[in-house]
Amino acid sequence: MTAFAGGGLLNRRGLLKGAALGGTAATFSQGVFEVVHAEAEAPEWTTIPGEEVRGYGLPAPQEAEVKRTLFQIYEDLSPEFGFSGTPLQKLRGAMTPNGLHFEVHHGGRPEIDPEQHRLMIHGLVERPLQFDLASLDRYPMVSRVHFIECAGNGFLNAVESEPQDVGLDVLAGLVSNAEWTGVPLSILMEEAGVKPEGKWVIAIGADAAGLSRSIPIEKIMADGMLALHQNGERIRPEQGYPMRILLPGYEGNMNVKWVTSLQVTSQPAYTRDESGAYSDPLADGNVVRFSFTMGVKSVITHPSGTMTMNGPGLYGISGLAWSGGGAIERVEVSADGGTSWADADLQQPVLSKSLTRFTIPWRWDGSPARLLSRATDSEGHTQPTRADWKARYHPSNINHYNAIQAWDVTPDGKVANAYA
Question: For residue 233, is it within any domain?
Answer: yes
Residue 13 in this model has a pLDDT that exceeds 80: no
Which CATH number covers residue 267? 3.90.420.10
101-141 pLDDT, tens digit per residue, is 999 988 889 999 999 999 999 999 999 999 999 999 999 99
Residue 73 in this model has a pLDDT that exceeds 80: no
CB 118 within 8 A of CB 191: no
Specify the pLDDT at position 10.
85
- For the segment 389-394, the average pLDDT, to the nearest whole number, is 97
Residue 41 in this model has a pLDDT that exceeds 90: no
Question: For residue 55, is it within any domain?
Answer: no
Question: For residue 22, is it within any domain?
Answer: no
How high does pLDDT run on average in the chain? 92
Question: For residue 21, is it within any domain?
Answer: no
Question: For residue 27, is it within any domain?
Answer: no
Q: Which residues of 8-139 form beta strands (DSSP E)?
A: 9-10, 69-71, 82-85, 103-105, 119-123, 129-131
Question: For residue 301, is it within any domain?
Answer: yes
Give CA–CA dist 139/179, Å, rounded: 18
What is the percent of the chain with per-residue pLDDT over 70, rounded to a whole number? 93
- State the total domains in the chain: 1
Domain with 404, as residue range(s), is 67-420
Rg of the chain (C-alpha set) = 24
Specify the pLDDT at position 79.
75
DSSP-assigned beta bridge partners for residue 332: 343, 374
Q: Which residues contact 121 (CB under 8 A, 6 or more apart)?
A: 128, 129, 130, 131, 188, 189, 192, 262, 264
